[in-house]
A and B are shown apart, each in its own frame.
Chain A
Amino acid sequence: GAGVSQSPSNKVTEKGKDVELRCDPISGHTALYWYRQRLGQGLEFLIYFQGNSAPDKSGLPSDRFSAERTGESVSTLTIQRTQQEDSAVYLCASSQAPSYEQYFGPGTRLTVT
């Protein structure tokens, strides 16, 4: 079946603009994660959704970052008033349940100029 998809694959935006990144998880996966991967660095946890529970937002770096998920389907990560330090690859992953294997999308490469 189809894996996790993300769009756009690349996004170049000007400093101060808002961007929206999309993630389509694998059908039936209740858990969805967003991570940030800065150049040369590891994965940084941002936010986690599990079913209809309140999301774990503990990794969001500032209030400019927010994310939503509609039920157990699509999720969008929104970054408002982008800054140059937001430039990174944003990865989405989904899994059948917490602590199960995570399946990753290809990522969205965000460049803030």
Chain B
Amino acid sequence: AQRVTQPEKLLSVFKGAPVELKCNYSYSGSPELFWYVQYSRQRLQLLLRHISRESIKGFTADLNKGETSFHLKKPFAQEEDSAMYYCALSGLGNNDMRFGAGTRLTVKP
């Protein structure tokens, strides 16, 4: 069974501080991991996926299969990063996507 755990429901940091949103997963096969973001009054949208290995809006995430983690990081948080962040897992070639419970990030001025 696929499971995604985001241990922090709320996370608050000051502008310019580093931020790390934690995501752990369990899956027996080859996982595909994603981070989705929902800004206030906007639709849920893809932020990044581990296959792309890219940095979006200064965010990066590395898949660590040994620790079964896919933490989202940004070295210097900005106020506009305040949003709800969801980690999601799909098995390679699998049908469905499982989302974590989400972490609400607040970046204070």
In the complex, per-residue mask of B34-45: 1 if CB is within 8 Å of any chain A CB, else 0:
101000000111
Contact in complex: B46, A99 (CB < 8 Å): no
Q: Looking at chain A, what size class is its interface with the partner chain?
A: 20 to 34
Contact in complex: A104, B45 (CB < 8 Å): yes
Contact in complex: A35, B101 (CB < 8 Å): no
Contact in complex: A99, B43 (CB < 8 Å): no
Interface residues of A in 93-113 (CB under 8 A from B): 93, 98-99, 101-107
Min C-beta distance of A34 to chain B, whole Å: 11
Residues of B within 8 A of A67 (CB): none
Contact in complex: A104, B93 (CB < 8 Å): no
- Chain A residue at smallest Cβ distance from B102: A42
Known contacts A98-B94, A102-B46, then 8 further A-B pairs from the complex at CB < 8 Å, ordered by chain A residue: A42-B99, A48-B96, A59-B96, A101-B46, A101-B49, A102-B97, A104-B44, A106-B43
